Structure 1
Amino acid sequence: MPSRPVPAAQRSPRRSPRPFAVPPAVPAAGLAAVLLAGCSSAGPTGTGAGPAAAPVRGGTLKYAVAVGTSCLDPHVSPGDVTAVIQRNVFDSLVYLDDKGGFHPWLAKSWQVSPDARTYTFRLRDGVAFHDGTVFDAAAVKANLDHIKDPRTKSLYAASLLGPYTGAEVVDPHTVRVSFSEPYVPFLQAAATPYLGIASPKSLAEKADQLCAGGANSVGTGPFKETEYVKNDHVEFRRNDAYAWAPEGAANQGAPYLDGLTIRFLPEDSVRSGALTSRQVDAAALPVTAVRTVRAANGIEVSRTQNPGVVYSLFLNTTRGALQDERVRRAVQRAVDVDALVRSIYFGEYERAWSPLSPTTPAAYEAGLKDSFPHDAAAAGRLLDEAGWSARDADGYRVKDGKRLTLHWPYIASLVRDQRDTLAAGIQADLKKAGIELVRDSIDNGTYFTIYASGDYDLWDNSWVRADPAVLAGFYLSTNTPAAGGQNVSLSKDPELDGWLRAGAATTDPAARKGNYTKAERWAVEHATVLPLYVTTNLVGRAQGVQGLVFDANAWPQFAGVWKTR
């Protein structure tokens, strides 16, 4: 997975921070979510199994996921699975619930300067890391500095810190975090596992072992990580001392479970079969198995859409035929995305119209729906206008003796979620329009070399983040793959850059949404992207599993789970 970018922001004169009254928890769309000094007891909530009876203590939950990871250090790895696993170990300064509300966690309150350059956190006392080290302001500073240190080689967390200039220990329970530019997305970033707080002792003494997980992963979280066997499983046991859950969480104490096991079962049939045969208690389900699992006795399935960038096909605007916007628009119109998503995903996934998911707080542009419907005739006219009117013996369009061929590289071992079937459908639709789509199966090293060099026509990607600032990674002109970003369309437009920078800098919720929705429209209207489907977590669980909820990213949370049998 490619590294993630640093969202940019617009410069503004520095002013002194001022406190704000403590409001109730509010959606991230609201001004109080940006300039927030604390939150209410209205607590984090989630989609999933609510408490049907009094919680029961004891037992071990076994949860199966599809993919493993080469690194379990969330400060380094950009992987979603790393975040799901290590959320059990590493707490965050704040909690962002599935409704977009911020809540105190390791920080009991916070103040944001009017120019959004300075965030001052008042920390909880009485919190300890798994190794006995006391949690304090110095620990927060050590973590943020460690993440930003080039020697850490962070592939994502460092970008979430944006224009970070440093953290000041005001007193043992107060830390002030500063940025060189207004940086409104920081609260959301601070709520992620990627900026989770690790023991400063482990950072100092085990820096070269943190990716190995297991006992090297030392946080303040509800579970202690005891064992990691790569591509097989991770073992956790309850942190009996845990008493600092996010404000309003259903379980304010130590987990009900004695232990948690996360198993890596990449084969879809094996993973779903493990659930129906009760070898595991819950599992991330493949879309192909959902109907079968739903029909099984004693199993319930939840469906939650991820926020962030939907699964999309990005078009390289700087290469070959795709430099012509008419050709890119023809690609958009030639593919019958509705039919493909409906037939492949059985109605479980929503067809996407914007690069952003509908569940992304404060930005989704619903007006893009139906703005580029499938129209084979329109695709043909656009290609004719672009000079690709002649066809060769195989039916592919040609111009100046050259076939209209597009290359889409991929790593076969990483294909999931029926994306190979989806790609075949796209290939077939483009062939009808006279466009040859070549799927290039390559190894990891070649993949990232091609990614950095821009030597591709099409690139597929999705990205989970509960903030529209994720768009800056994909569309800010400076966030090219060569620079560590995800601007795989290699879009470069001053007006687009201005919207993205303003979105990261403004504290006005309406202005923020306006800037990001303009960026969404630009991306679609200039045919830099073909949005395909909204990535969705399908999780099956035995009915005896209670208290399973999902956070703002649609990731499962295990601290409040218990088993009734």
Structure 2
Amino acid sequence: MHRHRKVSLWFVLTMIFALLLAACAPAATPSGGEATTGESSEVAAEPAEKGGDLVIAFPASSEPASLDGHIDPYQPTWLFNSFVSDPLVVLSPDGEFLPSLATEWESNPEGTVWTFKLRDDVMFQDGTPFNAEAVKYNLERIKAPETASVQMAADLGPVESIDVVDEFTVQINYSEPWVTLLDAARRIPLWSPTAAAEYSVTEFDKHLVGTGPFLLDEWIANDRIIFTKWEDYGGWNPIQNHDGAAYLDSVTILFIGEAAVLGSVVSTGDADIARELPPTYREDYQNSDEYQFLTGFQAGTGLQQVFNVRNAPLNILELRQALLYAIDQEGLNDLLYDGAYLEQKGPLNVKHPCYTSDVETMYPYDTAKAMEMLEAIGYRDEDGDGIREAYGVEGVEDGTPLTIRWTTLHHVEIGEAMQAQWRLIGVDLQVEQVAGPIQIDMVNNRDFDLIYERQRSPDPMILDMIWNSRWDEPGGWAWTGFADEELDGLVAQLRTVGDFEQRCDIAAQAQVKIMENALMAPTLSQPVFYALAGNVRDFQLASEGNYFYLHNT
């Protein structure tokens, strides 16, 4: 058995098949107030008072449809769940797995059997004991059809059975190797079986009960979520550097619909922290001695839009390629974000450890080439209105304008700027903003042209989730309708190959293959800007900049 004080994410992914790890580290003592994933600007440190009511402003688009992370597939839900529920393992700010509710874990050499030993001194907020039966209940709830889990069930993988070895040991058995369980385990909220059984699946998200430092007090839809301190919290998360309950008395999440309000909410004193600060307000806080400013980045797909290639004309490869030649990312970035975002040339962003630069020169901005390709397909502007019509295009009635729908949850401004860029080549881009549940309905009905699909993870397995046609089903994440044996075979290996360098090589081949087929429109990758009032202390960004910890704040 290999024993480690703490386990690197990259080490785990590299050595997973030889994994037999037990973590027994003392609680980490992260530095307060510094961005672990980007730049930081801080006011001079002063003695901080413990306690207080922290108010954090989020854009309204971050409000989840459900607060139950077993159900809701979006990142803000998992963040809010982390206030209420500690996970089995934690990914520390420096990217290392640490024990939380699990004290040790091991895998057989094949990666098909995982065993977790649990803490024996934990209880849920309603007094229900935390033990192996509770873990089993949660994992089976995620996999149950009535839960209708999308993301979490996919992350948990092909579980064959779950065994309670003893009161504080649980074993998870897989039908095939599953090398990324720890990455899933850090995000899976563990709920009180007593509380979850008391409510229906759709009602429980208003009554969450976990083992974390805060109690869910109230959720007022389209307004706020209020969490209050759990006085009996035992400090079971290794991020926490002190014993007992959290310092804060309460945490209120405000959902702000107007960018101008979100940009000024800290300076007006209406919030202590603004997350996803609009880029135009960055200098107001970054260059001020009164505030703190943090920048976080997250590995993943970036703000990509995926094509639906099932129907004409987007089933025509040359048309999709022409559209990619007409994207000026540098122009988008300068126009919309003063160059603060990151350009993205493929299905993984530049912050991802498996990103390949091989995609960077595949589609240089070239409107002349784009128009030439559209002409060759049969799209011409015969009526002089600036929009091309189809003439002899297979599957499209002659005279039909080249109109494409761009569907997104947020960042509408990117679509609007793209309208202007694609109009230069004679394409009518129609931008529509929808809520998360509507997006999922559209995807399940395959009713879209070009739709926002974003995954955030440093694990290359997200390529399998999005691009393996095996997952082209309701509830799955393979939305494009593209099926290719070579690509499917490549990305499927990311679920079974343990060596991280080999996984990145596979991921690089897959990225090139995806871009050769022009299956997605890369735009930009978003940093996360945080503005903090000067009196906020020990607010900690996670290794992924969209997450943060409040255990020591």
TM-score norm. by structure 1 comes to 0.87
- Unaligned 5+ segments in structure 2 are 36-41, 393-397
Deviation (angstroms), 1:354: 2.1
Residue 402 of structure 1 corresponds to: 399
Contact 1:36 1:112 in 2 (8 A): yes
Residue 468 of structure 1 corresponds to: 460
Residue 512 of structure 1 corresponds to: 503
Contact 1:25 1:42 in 2 (8 A): no
SS at match of 1:510: helix
Residue 122 of structure 1 corresponds to: 117
**Alpha-carbon distance in 2 for matches of 1:371, 1:38:** 45
| Segment drifting more, 547-556 vs 172-181 | 547-556
Contact 2:542 2:549 in 1 (8 A): no
SS at match of 2:304: strand
Residue 86 of structure 1 corresponds to: 81
**Alpha-carbon distance in 2 for matches of 1:442, 1:145:** 32
Alignment of 1:412-561 (within 5 A): 414=409, 416=410, 419-439=411-431, 448-480=440-472, 482-561=473-552
- Unaligned 5+ segments in structure 1 are 1-18
**Alpha-carbon distance in 2 for matches of 1:441, 1:559:** 32
The 1:77–1:248 alpha-carbon spacing in structure 2 relative to 1, beyond 3 Å, is closer
Deviation (angstroms), 1:337: 1.7
Deviation (angstroms), 1:381: 2.7
Alignment of 1:365-376 (within 5 A): 365-376=356-367
Deviation (angstroms), 1:350: 0.7
Is 2:68 aligned against 1:73?
yes
Alignment of 1:12-411 (within 5 A): 19-22=1-4, 24-28=6-10, 30-32=13-15, 35=19, 37-39=21-23, 40=25, 43=28, 48-49=33-34, 52=45, 56-67=49-60, 68-192=63-187, 195-208=188-201, 210-213=203-206, 216-247=207-238, 249-251=240-242, 253-284=244-275, 285-360=277-352, 362-388=353-379, 391-398=382-389, 399-400=391-392, 401-403=398-400, 405-410=402-407
SS at match of 1:310: coil
Contact 1:333 1:375 in 2 (8 A): yes
Deviations 1:294-317 (A, max 9, x none): 355511221111222211122222
Question: Which AA in structure 2 matches 1:334?
Answer: A
Contact 2:228 2:250 in 1 (8 A): yes
Deviation (angstroms), 1:458: 1.6
Deviation (angstroms), 1:209: 6.0
**Alpha-carbon distance in 1 for matches of 2:85, 2:52:** 22
Deviation (angstroms), 1:495: 1.1
SS at match of 1:81: helix
Deviation (angstroms), 1:424: 2.0
**Alpha-carbon distance in 1 for matches of 2:171, 2:145:** 22
Deviations 1:80-125 (A, max 9, x none): 2212212100111011134432111110110011111111001111
Contact 1:33 1:102 in 2 (8 A): no
The 1:42–1:31 alpha-carbon spacing in structure 2 relative to 1, beyond 3 Å, is farther
Contact 1:548 1:556 in 2 (8 A): no
**Alpha-carbon distance in 2 for matches of 1:317, 1:533:** 22
**Alpha-carbon distance in 2 for matches of 1:70, 1:113:** 38
The 1:452–1:153 alpha-carbon spacing in structure 2 relative to 1, beyond 3 Å, is closer
| Segment drifting more, 144-153 vs 452-461 | 452-461
Question: Which AA in structure 1 matches 2:137?
Answer: A
Deviation (angstroms), 1:390: 6.1
Contact 1:336 1:429 in 2 (8 A): yes
Deviations 1:266-292 (A, max 9, x none): 222222322111121111112232233
SS at match of 2:455: strand
SS at match of 2:126: coil
Deviation (angstroms), 1:141: 0.3
Deviations 1:399-418 (A, max 9, x none): 2333451321537xx4x3xx
Deviations 1:505-534 (A, max 9, x none): 111112211222221121112211121111
How many residues are matched? Answer: 533
Deviation (angstroms), 1:201: 0.7
**Alpha-carbon distance in 1 for matches of 2:32, 2:522:** 25
The 1:294–1:446 alpha-carbon spacing in structure 2 relative to 1, beyond 3 Å, is closer
**Alpha-carbon distance in 2 for matches of 1:252, 1:307:** 32
The 1:45–1:379 alpha-carbon spacing in structure 2 relative to 1, beyond 3 Å, is farther
Deviation (angstroms), 1:136: 0.7
Contact 2:86 2:189 in 1 (8 A): yes
| Segment drifting more, 20-29 vs 85-94 | 20-29
Deviations 1:333-365 (A, max 9, x none): 1121211122101122111112223333x4222
**Alpha-carbon distance in 1 for matches of 2:202, 2:436:** 23
| Segment drifting more, 551-560 vs 259-268 | 551-560
**Alpha-carbon distance in 2 for matches of 1:556, 1:112:** 27
Deviations 1:401-449 (A, max 9, x none): 33451321537xx4x3xx3222122122212112222335778887555
**Alpha-carbon distance in 2 for matches of 1:442, 1:144:** 31
**Alpha-carbon distance in 2 for matches of 1:499, 1:534:** 25
**Alpha-carbon distance in 2 for matches of 1:25, 1:223:** 27
Question: Which AA in structure 1 matches 2:478?
Answer: N
The 1:36–1:381 alpha-carbon spacing in structure 2 relative to 1, beyond 3 Å, is farther
Deviation (angstroms), 1:375: 0.9
Contact 2:333 2:340 in 1 (8 A): no
Residue 39 of structure 2 corresponds to: none
| Segment drifting more, 457-466 vs 347-356 | 457-466
Deviation (angstroms), 1:489: 2.2
Deviations 1:357-401 (A, max 9, x none): 3333x4222332343221112212322333435644223333233
Question: Which AA in structure 1 matches 2:58?
Answer: V
| Identity over aligned pairs, percent | 27
